Amino acid sequence: MSEPKETPPSKLSNLAVRVLTSLVVVPVLLLLLFVVPWWGFFALGLIAVPIAAQELTGMTMAAQKLQQAWAILASLGVYAALYFSPTAEMLAGLLVAVVAIGFFVALVQPHPIETAALRMGWLVATPLYAGGLLASLAILHTLEDGGAWCALAMMLAWFGDTGAYFAGKGFGKRQLYAAISPKKTIEGAFGGLAGSVVAAVSMHFIALDQMSIWHAVILGLVAGAAGQAGDLTISLVKRSANVKDSGWIVPGHGGLLDRIDGLVMTSAVTWAYAAILLPKLS
């Protein structure tokens, strides 16, 4: 799956490594979500955001280190700004600065010219993706029942992955999106949606009864679809940049992006539901 240079060699099967990694990661996440004070989960973002930004810029502006450094810094800025949600004016100012300074930084290393426009786009898109979408997960944690909402966003993504994996293995026949992810099947996608619905309905019973069962079903479908689409978007970047894995940070899982490309989208949808829609509906 991955090139030897990029992932540590291992005699364990990929699935076994993934399971072992999960055995470490999941308890840490649970501690950060439910036990450690607010700054613990926020600080996890301060680690994840620059890694995600580094992986994205590693694909889109690999040779331009200064531009990568700026994009990473700007991603942290967007993450912190959205999290601490200052005034709307400050946020607007930050946005204007992100696009203006990002473009100026592009001028410092304009070569090769043919790909300069690609870098300019990603000097703006990277902070919004890595900083903005991960902020939606961090903000979710600050809501009432924040730990449970975050756990839900994660379950929506990872139950979805798991459902897709097994449904695809068992029944997969028709390709979902051959151009960029030839192994994914329509049957797998439906299994993924089912997994996400199971995640949401479970959380209704476990900790989030303010979300009705019907809401849970709809959220499972919408966030599950968004998560799967989010997975495809990063596959599209990788394929367009001719890269196989976005990184090597998570043993057995490839890069961090490969692990969170669905999660950032389920987070965004869960946040929109929990912070904006639900208060208006109830």
Residues in touch with a second copy (CB under 8 A): 59-60, 78, 82, 85-93, 95-100, 102-104, 106-107, 110-111, 113-125, 128-129, 132-133, 135-136, 139, 177, 179-180, 226, 229-230, 232-233, 236-237, 239-241, 265, 268, 271-272, 275-276
Shortest separation between residue 123's beta carbon and a second copy, angstroms = 8
C-beta of 10 vs 240, nearer to a second copy: 240
C-beta of 204 vs 235, nearer to a second copy: 235
C-beta of 118 vs 218, nearer to a second copy: 118
Separation of alpha carbons 200 and 180, rounded Å: 28
* Of 41, 50, 25, 17, the residue nearest 147 (C-alpha): 41
C-beta of 142 vs 162, nearer to a second copy: 142
Shortest separation between residue 9's beta carbon and a second copy, angstroms = 30
Q: Are 257 and 233 contacting, i.e. CB atoms less than 8 angstroms apart? A: no
C-beta of 39 vs 103, nearer to a second copy: 103
End-to-end CA distance of the chain: 47
C-beta of 49 vs 226, nearer to a second copy: 226
Separation of alpha carbons 195 and 162, rounded Å: 7
DSSP string, 26-41: HHHHHHHHHTS-HHHH
Contacts of 118 (CB under 8 A, 6+ apart): 60, 61
Separation of alpha carbons 71 and 60, rounded Å: 11
Separation of alpha carbons 207 and 153, rounded Å: 13
Determine the 3-state secondary structure of 213 from DSSP.
Answer: helix
Shortest separation between residue 100's beta carbon and a second copy, angstroms = 5
C-beta of 111 vs 173, nearer to a second copy: 111
Shortest separation between residue 16's beta carbon and a second copy, angstroms = 32
Shortest separation between residue 109's beta carbon and a second copy, angstroms = 11
Shortest separation between residue 115's beta carbon and a second copy, angstroms = 7
Shortest separation between residue 111's beta carbon and a second copy, angstroms = 7
Quick one: DSSP state of residue 254? Answer: B
* Of 96, 80, 186, the residue nearest 135 (C-alpha): 80
Neighbours of 269 (CB within 10 A): 21
